[in-house]
Structure 1
Amino acid sequence: MFKFQKNLLITTVMLIMVMFTSSMASAAGQVLTQGKWAPATRTAMQKFIDTYGTKSSNYNAAKKPYVVFDWDNTSIMNDTEEALFMYQIQNLVFKLKPEEFGKIVTKNVPQGSFNKEYNNMAGQAVTLEAVNNDLIRDYTFIYNNYAGMQGKMSLEDIQKTDQFMDFRAKMWYIYQAIDDKYTSKISYTWVLYFFKNMTTDEVSALTEKSNDYNLGQAIRKETWLSPDTLPGEAGVVGVSHTTGLRLTEEIGDLMSTLRSNGFDVYVCTASLEDVVAVFATNPKYGYNVARENVIGMQLEKINNVYQDSYKKGLVPTGEHGKTLGIQRVVADKRGYGPIMVAGDSSGDYNMMTEFPDTKRVLLVNRLKSGSFGKLCAEAAATMGNPNAKFVLQGRNENLGLWNPSEEVIKLGKNTGALLAK
């Protein structure tokens, strides 16, 4: 076990040092490194920097341009919040009594069955109530027996129990099922409520542990299956996820190059603001975003302790909520919108299209359809044009790195594709 953890730590440190070194180099050179940029996209981005940054005779320091990046799957590979939720489940990091836990599972989620894609292994429909009852049963067992709560069993021993295996699978299952049926408008806030009773410092420390652990994990598909010895009311369910996180060297370099050329850099995320701030601001990860420049989801706090409710007066930072968050923190104060936006999904579509001041949009290609797919198609039609508003950048999901092309190589595939079919 010690050797395994040591290897993970070495891998993480190497990744971090590569990122940090690249960031420092670009700050000195004030031009983008080639990295794994699609060549035409890098050319377009460098022209954008030269046209609107301090090298331009039209640059106005009194009206400093600013750029907004999405975080998950744009600034990094994979999703910080989801990786943290899986880490929280796997390591049983909760400060909830069983009665509190059960209320959070159903909070703001309509009753009834999930979509048929989330039928159990026997092909039967699964309801919110059934999964919740199973999870309360599992969590009560864990709460009464795990030494990290009020029992005596070690984490290693509790993880061997059927109750833990059922809990792990059904927690991830219900998150995915909620997202599938009710979209991120419910699931992206729901997942945050499990931080209830934790302090900001506790969640920040947990996030750093999750980041470092997941940076050392292989990128692969993994399935969590609940045990057939404990079917409960929901039955046996199975759900998959992608493991691992990766730093994106080119984004860290881009952020540094933008700052050195007179741009301010912001992040707007649909994850918890305090969670993303750990990744975006900690120097060891190499992005070096100012804390006040991170805009994201916020929970109510009492004496710096998280509550299971969204912060009053604020709109969750997803879809149009991202536009509203940028307006609240930056645009309304400065009197103008971002000159550039970067994102990877339809959740970023609004902030990419709703500011008339935006001159450049960087699309991290993930073969998405919908509104984001339409922007990708527009970018594909103007590839090679350094003045195009929308530019594409591909990635290799097998490696967790960018692909030096506009095409994306999906996890498990050997060849690239430009657009969703």
Structure 2
Amino acid sequence: MNLKRRCAAAAAVLAVAATGLVTVQATAEATQPPQSARPTGKKCPTLTVSAGWYGDNRARLQKMIDTYGRCADGGRTGGGKGGAKPVAAFDWDNTVIKNDVGDATMFWLLRHGKIRTPRGGDWHSTSRYLTDPAAKALAKACPADGTTLPTRRDTDCADEIVSVYGEGTTTGGDTAFAGYDHRRMEPQYAWLAQLTRGWSAHQVKGFAAAARKENLAAPVGTEQRVGTGRVTGWARYYDQQRDLIRTLKKAGFDVYVVSASPEPVAEVWAESVGVDARHTIGIRNVIAHGKLTARLKGCGTVEDGDDSMITYIDGKRCWINQEIYGVRGAAAEKVRPAAKRQVFAAGDSDTDVSFLRDATALRLVLNRNKNELMCRAYDDGDGRWLVNPLFIEPKGRLAEPYPCATTGYTERDGEKGPVRRADGSVIPDQKDTVHGS
């Protein structure tokens, strides 16, 4: 950062502090280590897939591998617990594959009647954030007289669950979830994990494997019927991300998947890109008597069963710090020193903002037109953000600039506000410049 930029940043901080309008918290982007080449004469493995990469993104990724890989310097940067390997962390849905494995699993569960009936027919038991109108709508649509719900043939029940899960509203238009921290929790995502209650993790992995087989076999663009509606019925791995993960692993990186899907589901899909269960982090249920419950494991200061933090925005930071770096308690929720963070991260949505910002070398963003993420990526304050169109069915150019200066950021209470840099200054609206044709 040059002198002019430092002065401007300092002025912004003083101005914010003086007015008391916002509390500026030090973030990862403000504590980046300098990139320095470490020539050793030993050649690192190279990326082999060239199609689909925008501009010099592939070349910059290769330079990162050459710089930070153990093939270059013994991997002394960005190590997790139990070793000194540099860490790379990938979101999953639409980052490593096209489409959503959580959706694929939910639709499979509904089509095969595998969702357990809530205890006593009380839908509040499935999520502490479910509103009264949503609980009543679900109770009305779904019979409570069996072990599992008859969603294979009962279209009213299936439609109500699809609406609450997919839209966050009842079929009648009422808000389905309320009262949660929007930087730590997405109750719609969590609800899928909670609806697997009563099954073992092994059984859920079996359901996910069946859904995976169907979605990979289906032609691109396939829709399937669930209830009375049509939903996405296909998925594909990105060849570019398979190649990147393979190359990172060969170069000595510790590669993790950090997903906001249920962990057993993410494990099934991640295995095919060489990421094992130990390196897969997702939404975790509390287990009792060998069965998943509707309660969720906690992170940082959040206790098991409190259900208030999943692998979502700031929650992804916490789970990475806790599970990869062995940090416990309140410290897991904070930005760690640069040498104790992931070197690389990849994502596609606002749910990935925090762990992407924590990456110290490069941050790969697949453009799905998500406001906060694209504001930060296009602002590119430290020159470490890479923006790439989706590798399959890339989105076209967004006609209007991203509303960074006004409503691009989601507050903890769900209100919208401006996206701010680490120094407190507001990011101006950003044009969409990296997109499909």
* Shared fold (TM-score, shorter chain, > 0.5): yes
Query: Which residue, 330, 343, 350 being the options, matches 1:346?
Result: 350
Aligned to 1:30: 45
The 1:199/1:223 distance shift into structure 2, 3 A limit, reads closer
Do residues 133 (structure 1) and 136 (structure 2) align?
no
Write the deviation string for residues 346-390 of structure 1: whole angstroms up to 9, x where unpaired: 11101111x3x6111010111221x112123235xx9xxxx9300
* CA distance, structure 1, for counterparts of residue 313 and residue 186 of structure 2: 9
Letter in 1 for 2:57: T
Aligned to 2:331: none
Aligned to 1:77: 98
Write the deviation string for residues 15-71 of structure 1: whole angstroms up to 9, x where unpaired: xxxxxxxxxxxxx98210114222411111111111111343574386321111111
* CA distance, structure 2, for counterparts of residue 364 and residue 65 of structure 1: 22
Aligned to 1:115: none
Identity %: 22
Aligned to 2:313: 319
Report which stretch shifted further, 239-248 or 190-199: 239-248
* CA distance, structure 2, for counterparts of residue 290 and residue 225 of structure 1: 31
Aligned to 1:65: 86
Letter in 2 for 1:216: A
Is the Cα–Cα contact under 8 Å of residues 343 and 360 in structure 2 kept in the other structure?
Answer: yes
Q: What's the CA shift for 1:75?
A: 1.2
* CA distance, structure 2, for counterparts of residue 64 and residue 222 of structure 1: 42
* CA distance, structure 2, for counterparts of residue 59 and residue 106 of structure 1: 44
* CA distance, structure 1, for counterparts of residue 104 and residue 238 of structure 2: 16
How many pairs does the alignment contain?
A: 325
Is the Cα–Cα contact under 8 Å of residues 377 and 419 in structure 1 kept in the other structure?
Answer: no
The 1:254/1:362 distance shift into structure 2, 3 A limit, reads same
Aligned to 1:295: 281
Q: Secondary structure at the match of 2:70?
A: coil
Do residues 388 (structure 1) and 383 (structure 2) align?
yes
Is the Cα–Cα contact under 8 Å of residues 131 and 174 in structure 1 kept in the other structure?
Answer: no
The 1:93/1:54 distance shift into structure 2, 3 A limit, reads same
Q: Secondary structure at the match of 1:93?
A: coil
The 1:49/1:311 distance shift into structure 2, 3 A limit, reads same
The 1:130/1:303 distance shift into structure 2, 3 A limit, reads closer
Aligned residues: CA RMSD: 3.3
Q: What's the CA shift for 1:133?
A: 2.9
Unaligned ranges ≥5, structure 1: 1-27, 113-126, 228-238, 411-415
Q: How does 1:92-171 map to 2 (within 5 A)?
A: 92-94=113-115, 96-97=116-117, 99-100=119-120, 102-103=122-123, 107-111=127-131, 127-137=133-143, 140=145, 143=146, 159=152, 161=153, 164-171=154-161
Q: Secondary structure at the match of 1:63?
A: coil
Q: Secondary structure at the match of 1:202?
A: helix
Q: What's the CA shift for 1:129?
A: 4.2
Is the Cα–Cα contact under 8 Å of residues 134 and 176 in structure 2 kept in the other structure?
Answer: no
Report which stretch shifted further, 83-92 or 99-108: 99-108
More relative contact order, 1 or 2 (CA 8 Å, 6+ apart): 1
Q: What's the CA shift for 1:105?
A: 7.1
The 1:397/1:60 distance shift into structure 2, 3 A limit, reads closer
Letter in 1 for 2:218: Q
* CA distance, structure 2, for counterparts of residue 362 and residue 133 of structure 1: 43
Is the Cα–Cα contact under 8 Å of residues 65 and 262 in structure 1 kept in the other structure?
Answer: yes
* CA distance, structure 1, for counterparts of residue 51 and residue 85 of structure 2: 27
* CA distance, structure 2, for counterparts of residue 56 and residue 225 of structure 1: 51
Q: How does 1:188-203 map to 2 (within 5 A)?
A: 188-203=189-204
Q: Secondary structure at the match of 1:72?
A: coil
Q: Secondary structure at the match of 2:189?
A: helix
* CA distance, structure 2, for counterparts of residue 226 and residue 201 of structure 1: 27
Q: What's the CA shift for 1:273?
A: 1.3
Aligned to 2:3: none
After TM superposition, the score normalised by the length of structure 1 is 0.68
